[in-house]
Structure 1
Amino acid sequence: MTALMIQGTGSNVGKSLLVAGLCRAARARGLSVAPFKPQNMSNNAAVTADGGEIGRAQALQALAAGLPPHTDMNPVLLKPETDVGAQVVVQGRRLTTARARDYARLKPQLMDKVLESFGRLTAAHDLVLVEGAGSPAEVNLRAGDIANMGFAEAANVPVILAGDIDRGGVIAQIVGTQAVISDADAARIRGFLINRFRGDPSLFDDGYALIEARTGWRGFGVVPWFGEAWRLPAEDALDIAEGGRAEGLHIVCLRLSRIANFDDLDPLAQEPGVRLTMLGPGHAIPGDADVVILPGTKSTRGDLAFLRAQGWDVDLAAHVRRGGHVLGICGGYQMLGASVADPGGIEGDPGTDPGLGLLDAATVMHPEKRLSEVSAEHVASGTAFSGYEIHIGRTDGPDRARPFARVDGRPEGAVRPDGRVAGSYLHGMFRDDAFRAAWLGGFGARSEARYDATVDATLDALAAHLEAHLDIDGLLLAAG
């Protein structure tokens, strides 16, 4: 077995991007490499070829490795549904919904599944690059841990600790981590790296040497800020680039409290002719918006209440009266109808809530989740495109007679008679260059971006960036 785990001094220190870049770098060296994350918490999921779901970050890492996404790459995925509970997805399939305290009792049985998936990957590849979650310094969570040192110990995997200098205090991040973890866990760490340095890295030479002296760990390099990271699928809705353009087709996406699969918006952010606004709570929908997108959500009824609390229901009605357009995707599509019923309490307490009433349709939640990659045809333009479905619930009503798309000949989605409001369950549609061009063309905007090609080129650039600033040979040696 050859594997290496990148753990971080905290959340969002760039672990996902580091693993993606290292996967591409290892692949360029002729190695068969696979990504792995034992436990991920994210509502941004990807559908896999084997009919399951994993975190979107692992799907990007799989792309970097030249592999199709597989459920073994992220055997435990937690998808928050409420402030205290999350859906637990194990090897691509929903197991249960658990509150935090209940999930802690589940962990021992989940470790077997984690190690099973990891074993299959290590048997099939020369190298497995593992991404941790959060930080090993969260020693209060060490007992039963399956995401960081608990996994590393069980699988006997060496660890590299990544610190984020852009946050400040990186010396304390790394030295402090060593101070609070056990001697046995500290001995598993082979060294550290510094991520996201702005300016001349040599200015940190003294700090770098101090960390080596205080910890006894060797440094593997200082990675400067990678300015092209915005071209890759966002890990967090707050990371989606808005472009800062003052002109162009103005598309406003409502940043719901439990927004899911928000990387649907990434391709639009890269279009020179689009001005994308990710609208946060407390802000009214701008009067100059051309299109408002209601994105996916992990809790349709919960985010309906959130949307109304912002006054966005009133803003949406006014937007449509002014001649504006609305597109709802997945949970956003469900919100646009007359009602959302959850009789079995799948996403929360059983009940029915009124929808926004912008589509003549209604949704009923069902326990069976639909997970599939699809080939579709956009009805309005006749353009073929690919996407994926990942949802519970069925939507029906008179506006379904005017479908948004056709999938294997069957109608999908709904469109209002005047064409100004549409809904679809299909994610990933904007990644398709032909569809994106046709959809934007319907509003008089041109498409110039080539999304998948741009992502692939950016992964190459990221690998070259890491090769230039990290001791890759040393990291491979540490992996065994």
Structure 2
Amino acid sequence: MAKYLMIQGTSSGCGKSLLTTALCRIAKKRGIKVCPFKAQNMSLQSYITEEGAEIGIAQSIQAFAAGITPTLHINPILLKPEGEQGIQVIVHGRLYKTLSSEELIKEKPKLWEAVDYSIKHLSQRFDLIIIEGSGSPAEINLIDHDIANMKVAKHLNAPVILVGDIDKGGVFASIYGTVKLLADYEYDCYIKGFIINKFRGKVDVLYSGIKKLENLLNKPCLGVIPYLTEPGIADEDGVSAFLKNENSFSVNKDVRIVVLRLRHISNFSDFYPLKFEPDVELIFSLRYEDILTADIIIIPGTKKTVDDLILLKELKLDKLLKEMAKRGNVEIVGICGGFQMLGERLFDPYNVEGNHKEIEGLSLLPIETVFYPEKITSQVEGFLISNPSIKVSGYEIHKGITFGEMNLFKIKRKHTEEWLTEGLINGNVWGTYLHGVFENDSLRRWLINKHRIKKSLTPIDFTFSWNNLFDSHIKKLSEIIEANIDIERLWQIAGL
């Protein structure tokens, strides 16, 4: 039977996901057959598994760190907020329902059945399951309906390590308060220790506070993790420093890429590989001055295509994009929802996106999109039609079907033999439904080199393998964390 170790946090964004990722890699390195698990995740950043199931992107990263293939069972419940329309509920990788917060609470018993099934499935196949909690376990207004934190710990009798974020301030109070609030529900007994995360400075200034907290709680501190300015792994919340760099500008970079910072941006990690290209400056912005200086403008995926299209029109960016498209030296790219926006018209006969039955797009590509309630989710592989030596792989997550003379990629969906044409390129404007497209090294350089040539710069054929670089980031993260926590005591707590 599997052993369990659960990572909970005093708040969202305190570092649970990265710590779980690191622990998966540390366990793998020690020969432990390990698997990540998160019962319920609320995120707009998702990944499609080989079986076509949609899960949180953080769990896919944790699976890669553990050396296993991501499956639907490592994140049985995924919640994707849709604003006024409610919350999209993904159960075992498939769209279940779109619910209000009140309706979601009523569904919790049924959702727990899916969680329990996945736990049992994984427990039969792995020696150690590292479980990530969600948000804070001490949200006392929601605790009676919890299926992601202490209910999981109690169900499995899993030891819990509590993580606090010192960078936000008040870490001792947040750890103490979390434990004491949980004591009212007799959950504090599951917490076997705490870790302080994101510390800047010399650790010895914390020692007196740590000692007092250990005495007050009768629980040990298992480590102090330093603040990591660039862990090299995208977080799942869309509020990371990666998205906050809209003011950056570097005159030393050859190619400037501006990703439009849409209000409902999803899968922002699509652009993470571009960040590490040595000749690229990547920023997220909606400011005129940034867009006007771009070599490449990318309209990203969005959870609400129509709302974000309306936003662009309200900001008069639709006119700016049309003007810039007329320039031969600027390239405009759309990914998923951004691809849909580039078209002439978008139709929503089933109110999938809201109350707009029809809306004019940016009219930069000769395509039209119709939204349907059913979601297409699949891994794909293929090649660039104009240069078949450039291979591509990625995944689709979308509800709309786009009609037009597709001419960008030849693709084959996982578990099918049919080759399809996907995406459309028209001069200096192109779009695709493929998420993860910039993780393809040759395609990434194809895009960048076009603009190096326009600037009379020598093309660079290869800079790095994204897969190797990504793995090295996980390795570095795990080494830093292993050096700053009591890993042997942690394994002892887990019963190893």
TM-score normalised over the length of structure 1: 0.95
Distance 1:117 1:245 in 2: 47
Decide whether the 8 Å contact of 1:234 with 1:266 is kept in 2: no
Decide whether the 8 Å contact of 2:89 with 2:97 is kept in 1: yes
State the shift of 1:335 in Å: 0.6
- Aligned partner of 1:357 in structure 2 is 363
State the shift of 1:80 in Å: 1.4
State how many pairs are aligned: 473
- Aligned partner of 2:455 in structure 1 is none
- Residue 466 of structure 1 is aligned with which of 481, 487, 496? 481
Distance 1:83 1:272 in 2: 41
Q: 1:270 to 1:404 in 2, by over 3 A?
A: same
Distance 2:317 2:235 in 1: 24
1:389 aligns with 2:399: no
- Per-residue CA shift, 1:127-160, capped at 9, x if unaligned? 0001111101211100120111122223322211
Letter in 1 for 2:119: F
Identity %: 41
State the shift of 1:350 in Å: 5.7
- Aligned partner of 1:188 in structure 2 is 190
Q: Which moved more, 1:241-250 or 1:169-178?
A: 241-250
State the shift of 1:348 in Å: 2.5
Letter in 2 for 1:50: E
Moved runs in structure 1, 4+ residues, more than 4 A? 241-244, 282-285
The SS at the match of 2:271 is: helix
- Aligned partner of 2:310 in structure 1 is 305
- Per-residue CA shift, 1:98-118, capped at 9, x if unaligned? 111111111111011101101
The SS at the match of 1:369 is: strand
1:317 aligns with 2:352: no
Letter in 2 for 1:191: G
1:98 aligns with 2:106: no
Distance 2:290 2:343 in 1: 20
Decide whether the 8 Å contact of 2:44 with 2:236 is kept in 1: no
The SS at the match of 2:26 is: helix
Distance 2:150 2:316 in 1: 45
State the shift of 1:284 in Å: 5.3
The SS at the match of 1:181 is: helix
- Aligned partner of 2:456 in structure 1 is none
- Aligned partner of 1:287 in structure 2 is 292
The SS at the match of 1:303 is: helix
Distance 1:203 1:458 in 2: 29
- Residue 269 of structure 1 is aligned with which of 272, 275, 290? 275
Distance 1:84 1:217 in 2: 43
Distance 1:204 1:219 in 2: 11
Q: 1:414 to 1:37 in 2, by over 3 A?
A: same
Letter in 1 for 2:444: R
Q: 1:170 to 1:413 in 2, by over 3 A?
A: same
Superposed, which structure 2 residues align to 1:160-179 within 5 Å? Answer: 160-179=161-180
Mind listing any 5+ residue stretches in structure 2 that lack a counterpart?
413-418, 453-458
CA RMSD, 1 decimal: 1.7
- Per-residue CA shift, 1:215-249, capped at 9, x if unaligned? 111111111123440x2134233422757533321
Superposed, which structure 2 residues align to 1:9-408 within 5 Å? Answer: 9-83=10-84, 85-183=86-184, 184-229=186-231, 231-239=232-240, 240=242, 245-246=250-251, 247-280=253-286, 285-323=290-328, 324-349=330-355, 351-382=357-388, 383-397=390-404, 400-401=405-406, 403-408=407-412
- Aligned partner of 2:429 in structure 1 is 421
The SS at the match of 2:96 is: strand
The SS at the match of 2:483 is: helix
Distance 1:61 1:244 in 2: 32
Mind listing any 5+ residue stretches in structure 1 that lack a counterpart?
none
Distance 2:289 2:125 in 1: 52
- Per-residue CA shift, 1:25-50, capped at 9, x if unaligned? 01111100000001101111111112
